[in-house]
Structure 1
């Protein structure tokens, strides 16, 4: 008798829908197995043939942390392209490389943690490089394109499963795990949620990652918005992955819960499905979940809900259908197409800020390229390793010829002399003499930081000349003549062992501290001073060496010589993505580092034909008045230098556009922790000052004219059209932008607000007839009185132009909308956070699980204003729900206080509310209500009765 092949288990049956297959697999898992799935590194279930699974693979602008990969421009650079189709192709290339790398290395995950859709509200945010724009619609458009590329176009299976970062209202690294973003409902819905919502609704998002911070006093990892907002936007299962270490922060740094069992249970119930904590070791999380189960804080159904969402992603990735997965054989890696795309993206990301006819450069120009970034191709924390590289110097050599390009880095060349008269000496690297680069420009793995097999620095009679670069705020790097940066390894010795500054804690930065007649050299990473010992140079707590700084050559002198010999000078300035502004570290100023400002002035004094190229992860405040040309690009990945040279030479007409406002100086900035973009008049939406360069700004080598704007309202849509014509003499891209402005709003509305945009390529004389269909919902605002979106009736301007300030044509439409009605306070009362305006207050959590309350800042005095409150036929009593101690004072319109309510005894805790009542002389009709808050109290709501 022939043996029969046992039938496949139902979860392996490709003829069944995913939902039934997930049900079957879930039913076969034990509680212990399901609990194990809750950690980032879910173990295999061998008895069912289920493989181990890892959530999380960084892929912000290329596959990161897994070795060589194609490196595209930083996310803010992709945002500057304003080109969704290009960004979709970049996402597709990244997902193809992810699959190809996964085929060779199972550590490469298919659940990619990208893109970052946090809005670039504040330009001093250290992670500015990771976002796309300060505008929610542009951010969503670019993020949607990237996720569609990452997802792939198969109707069933996904090439990778993208997770959006970081939910929610996250824009500061300062105290990022303990600070709370006070976000009123209008800002929440109109600004912070919008970028996430429109991207999720587009259908190519697998999930989100909560941010470290708190919103309105409650950690994002227990946010009710995950349930109340996120999961209502799509019928698809969404996977919520915690940020690294954040589950433990709920107790350890935030002190929001008393025990980790409570915290883990609360996060799981709120909607967190995968816990990224304690590295690859899941035992701690599993232990906490078991403890929560034993204490009745969780049920198996809670665990099932999380595991179901995980399994949904794994089925969509084709894990259980290897024969049907269309992406399983993907081999596209570092292809000619990907290299060309990296260059195209880098070219399209370049923004021409100013040009007084200096650019493009003449073909026979003699060029001096100077500056700290002139011969650098910088990586950031979320970059892959470079396979190819192109610096501005290399790009200009390639385009103009090495004999026509002169280079001056502009850094001081110094010797460090010890108190004994010897000098610091850098021994040669035995495995890589004379160069820090391998074949084709790839980073030489022998020169990664952290090596302990290279000899440490010593002190000798003949020292080594070091390049000293000042990156601002006293932070320095020191580099040997062969390109190796001085770095400190775990054993504390100083070696020349890094190709670039990098790492979670940068080990290549130092500070020179005046001491007597010399300087101490402090290592930033360890906080220790450099010591010269018999066994080599190291950092230590005691006996610091006092160095004399001997300047062999001033960087400014080299710049002056090179600039004087050139027809044009290209000054390349900006930041190193690992220094003075990055994850864990916000910037302190918009100014360029002082050394780079000096180099710019030096170059300009020596040669008036000076082009400033800013290569940076964020905006700077640089006065362009005496500069004939100025460009900005984010760190552009592997093709950055080639792309820049082609734009400077005119092979490509620049058409990047600024994705955020460039402020003229620090005085124009709000406080970093002030998230009220409406009240603080932040971003181009509300900023009333004069920016250095406005949102959407970018010039071209061509010129463009705009035709009349036409608009027609029908079928709950506004159909808008206008023509754009290339009136220049070369083919070029233009980025027409469509904005709106409510003419007579009843509440503060944006000065102008982006509705749509399109990047178009036009030959000389060519005209593009552009049309946009805008839903009426795009004109709505969040009505705090009604608790929903509302389109206000009235006139709306439609503005077409080349930036938010460069409006070329306009028209006005009248929308019927829905008229405002006074707040029915007798029926609905007033939720404290639904104010129209406020001063001196912040929003906090009403309870640990849901709701908002308002408290005075620092237990001081604050006021809430609620406009147009309808008291009907009359009211004479007010009730307030408060916790803590203090006073609530009721004022109508601009009159005297009508009532003051103070608890006799402060309540026992912030979530222990009491109801206070007070009578006042009866009032009727419509009035503005002011609630003044004094002292350490929380106000949840107020009610009124006759």
Structure 2
């Protein structure tokens, strides 16, 4: 069953018209020009802006643009998130995190995902409009994709990107943007916003003040190509400028980026939005910032004059004062307003509802069966098989007892990543295995936290329904108000307390804006002692919630907490002193009452180092095989986070090793001698050197989305044959990469690094084998500026069906700045056993071109080679030579 977010009902002050746009006050009057669909969009926008006062114009330059009643202009908020599913607005289909989508190496799939995200965005928008809701997260301007280059594995937000390669990022970004914006020649289904423009990829701790000066070569060879592709090929109608400065100017005030590159060179016609608070960084003195403007008015003027049309924040509200001071003209504000309103007109927001076909998209499209199936397909395709000694995977019928061990086996946020949709029926890895392997015995032990001192969801193994029941979990009673009066609307068994209900109803009959849940049962530990617990509220800033949490042990209160307004993530801490290993009565009560956003709770604990090892080792000893779920967590890596522990700082990492707590656990279970399969859930590369030496098999599953547990279990069983490829290099240590704050691409990524990595970019195994033959070029001698066609035959030479990713790499003539090789084409194909597929690639002049030290791009003469195989070329991969004659300069 799918639930309509009750937040939509909550804000409905009156019964709303289904009309999508503004209407004339007098129905019989001739429509004003801006309301006349017969006129061009430009004519309508010009007319509307000309009718606004300066004060009204200024009000429209921030993301939360208010209504202009006298002009019948409705309120609109430009801020909506859709990185891997429509986020923060109730339930929606949740796909793998972006880095996982990149691991599919499947551009058509990315376009399908973009389609689904914008269809669900329209469905939610249509429902919101029916209830007169114009809130943040319910609009049609989607601030995705993140196409920054994941140049360093330590960057916490790298999980949001499509990896380290500009070509792969560009191809996937183009596909995603096309999906988001839709196929209609007259209206956008939604508007995509590639971000963060530009040269933005950590560190998080310095992003508000860092000035980055890339070499001209790196700027045009690495940092800009994917942005260029999404603008010039996919025609993204919006773009977000970054926090950092580039060559001495904040990105949101950069003439180089916003005028010379974006509008002049690339012909961009859409609107530019700032990252949130980025305009504040021009002048702020209470934290490290750029200090390029003396005050708010000057900062607002700088942003507008450079070409940042919309301010996520409030600083642009000083533009009226800036006009009076002569810092900016009203005509310059008009330019920004015209960009912004052009987008709203092209979304159909000022046209009769019946004229825009997208208005007919029903709410039932949200998380529809077809969309759920696509989420599973994406999760399956994202999985990368890194090691498989002696064909350990898929499991043989002789595997009768499986030990599932590790911190990411049963934690919700390891499916979600960040900027995530809210999954309705998420499948945790443990539950996927329990479902897939029904004839096997499955033993579970959490084994460790993600890192010592870090809270993790309390595992189901410590909960039981009562003092004698063998069933794990807690009795959950759900109430339709924020109190426990009356009868619950539903009662069920919850295996653990780990839920994300952001703007969503937790269960049918319990409205999203106000409900209560009581969990009751018992808790028992493996050893007596004092245990530190936390109650965590789901990320939802700004929340404005009134949350209450109460905890009782053996009938006595041990915790009573209230969440303050606008806390980023309220945390209630308490300690349970358990004198023995017997079961003790536990009751947890949660009351939620929100204006619009929030809801969700995790009962977490901070286990003492090594405390969970005995249970994990005991489970391993009883098993035929151990599946260790390891990796990272969105609580460790992410955007500007308040975490500072060994290996992690502010959302970034200071090392790429597996955290010590998990490494200790891994070695302890491996010491049992049982076959060991490692499954990684994470958003960035890990140096799992010990695991590579000692585990029989390794799967990389990323943050896999709502169907992640099912996809992983199907892969272990052989129902899914993994074919994902790494979109990033897995280095063996940070000794192989330059300093984190060094933005030079020298010695970075597969294109420029001389080091031998643990697992290379483009790497991935399969349960079957493939061979390549008959590689042919359209010509051995190419005139600069002409395309090159490459053909090859791919055959499945194994016994099972599977996907293969054919990767074409180009090696150009060596120069001081040329890459060692560069991905230049790829395609994912499905082949039955013995099946042969003929694949064809066409390399256009831009793909064949090189960037010199001065940043100039051209197809240049010389001797080239290329290779086509399932990975980067090795000494056994045939190198196909060809020559380019002449030179063909190309525009930036």
* TM class, shorter-length: 0.7 to 0.9
Report if aligned partners of 2:796, 2:835 keep a CA contact under 8 Å in 1.
Answer: yes
Trace 1:576-725 onto structure 2 (pairs within 5 A).
Answer: 576-584=633-641, 585-623=651-689, 624-678=692-746, 681-711=747-777, 712=779, 713=782, 716-725=786-795
Report the alpha carbon displacement of residue 404 of structure 1 after superposing the two structures with TM.
Answer: 2.1
1:683-702 deviations in Å (ceiling 9; x for gaps): 11100010000000000001
Report the alpha carbon displacement of residue 490 of structure 1 after superposing the two structures with TM.
Answer: 9.3
Confirm whether residue 769 of structure 1 aligns to residue 801 of structure 2: no
| Alignment partner, residue 30 of structure 1 | 53
Confirm whether residue 789 of structure 1 aligns to residue 857 of structure 2: yes
Trace 1:187-198 onto structure 2 (pairs within 5 A).
Answer: 187-198=218-229
| Alignment partner, residue 446 of structure 2 | 409
Q: Which of these residues, 422, 426, 430, is aligned with residue 393 of structure 1?
A: 430
| Alignment partner, residue 295 of structure 2 | 259
Trace 1:431-442 onto structure 2 (pairs within 5 A).
Answer: 435=494
| Alignment partner, residue 49 of structure 1 | 72
| Greater Cα radius of gyration, structure 1 or 2 | 1
Distance 1:572 1:430, change over 3 A: closer
Trace 1:851-862 onto structure 2 (pairs within 5 A).
Answer: none
Supply the distance in 2 between the matched residues of 1:440 and 1:401 (Cα, whole angstroms). Answer: 25
Give the SS at the match of 2:760. coil
Give the SS at the match of 1:725. strand
Identify which of structures 1 and 2 has the higher relative contact order when contacts are C-alpha pairs closer than 8 Å and 6+ apart: 2
Report the alpha carbon displacement of residue 455 of structure 1 after superposing the two structures with TM.
Answer: 11
Q: Which of these residues, 64, 85, 104, is aligned with residue 81 of structure 1?
A: 104
Report the alpha carbon displacement of residue 431 of structure 1 after superposing the two structures with TM.
Answer: 5.0
| Alignment partner, residue 755 of structure 1 | 824
Q: Which of these residues, 396, 409, 432, is aligned with residue 374 of structure 1?
A: 409
1:659-696 deviations in Å (ceiling 9; x for gaps): 01000012112111111103xx1111100010000000
Report the alpha carbon displacement of residue 434 of structure 1 after superposing the two structures with TM.
Answer: 7.0
Report the alpha carbon displacement of residue 648 of structure 1 after superposing the two structures with TM.
Answer: 0.9
Report the alpha carbon displacement of residue 250 of structure 1 after superposing the two structures with TM.
Answer: 0.7
Supply the distance in 2 between the matched residues of 1:339 and 1:317 (Cα, whole angstroms). Answer: 26
Distance 1:273 1:441, change over 3 A: closer
Over the aligned positions, Cα root-mean-square deviation in angstroms equals 3.8
Report the alpha carbon displacement of residue 118 of structure 1 after superposing the two structures with TM.
Answer: 0.5
Confirm whether residue 181 of structure 1 aligns to residue 250 of structure 2: no
Report the alpha carbon displacement of residue 182 of structure 1 after superposing the two structures with TM.
Answer: 2.2
Confirm whether residue 344 of structure 1 aligns to residue 377 of structure 2: yes
Report if aligned partners of 2:534, 2:574 keep a CA contact under 8 Å in 1.
Answer: no
Supply the distance in 2 between the matched residues of 1:125 and 1:69 (Cα, whole angstroms). Answer: 27
Supply the distance in 2 between the matched residues of 1:791 and 1:79 (Cα, whole angstroms). Answer: 28
1:782-830 deviations in Å (ceiling 9; x for gaps): 3345x6322221101111122224573320111113399xxxxxxxxxx
TM-score (norm 1): 0.73
Distance 1:14 1:671, change over 3 A: same
Give the SS at the match of 2:700. strand
Supply the distance in 2 between the matched residues of 1:234 and 1:156 (Cα, whole angstroms). Answer: 22
Distance 1:774 1:752, change over 3 A: same
Trace 1:237-636 onto structure 2 (pairs within 5 A).
Answer: 237-252=269-284, 253-278=289-314, 285-286=316-317, 288-321=318-351, 322-331=353-362, 332-356=365-389, 357-365=391-399, 366-378=401-413, 379-401=416-438, 403-411=440-448, 435=494, 445=506, 465=525, 478=533, 505-507=568-570, 554-584=611-641, 585-623=651-689, 624-636=692-704
| Alignment partner, residue 231 of structure 2 | 200
Supply the distance in 2 between the matched residues of 1:412 and 1:304 (Cα, whole angstroms). Answer: 54
1:409-460 deviations in Å (ceiling 9; x for gaps): 1148999xxxxxxxxx999999569737699997985999999999999xxx
Confirm whether residue 121 of structure 1 aligns to residue 151 of structure 2: yes
Between 28-37 and 649-658, the greater mean CA deviation after superposition: 28-37
Give the SS at the match of 1:736. strand
Supply the distance in 2 between the matched residues of 1:388 and 1:257 (Cα, whole angstroms). Answer: 49
Distance 1:238 1:477, change over 3 A: farther
Report if aligned partners of 1:739, 1:752 keep a CA contact under 8 Å in 2.
Answer: yes
Supply the distance in 2 between the matched residues of 1:587 and 1:550 (Cα, whole angstroms). Answer: 22
1:856-889 deviations in Å (ceiling 9; x for gaps): xxxxxxxxxxxxxxxxxxxxxxxxxxxxxxxxxx
Supply the distance in 2 between the matched residues of 1:311 and 1:39 (Cα, whole angstroms). Answer: 13
1:379-399 deviations in Å (ceiling 9; x for gaps): 333112220111111111111
| Alignment partner, residue 145 of structure 1 | 175
Distance 1:195 1:87, change over 3 A: same
Supply the distance in 2 between the matched residues of 1:103 and 1:467 (Cα, whole angstroms). Answer: 54
- Which segments of 5 or more consecutive residues in structure 2 lack a partner in the other structure? 1-25, 454-462, 467-473, 479-491, 552-558, 576-605, 642-650
Report if aligned partners of 1:387, 1:440 keep a CA contact under 8 Å in 2.
Answer: no
1:633-674 deviations in Å (ceiling 9; x for gaps): 111111000000111111111011000100001211211111
Supply the distance in 1 between the matched residues of 2:825 and 2:609 (Cα, whole angstroms). Answer: 55
Report the alpha carbon displacement of residue 361 of structure 1 after superposing the two structures with TM.
Answer: 0.7
Give the SS at the match of 1:812. strand
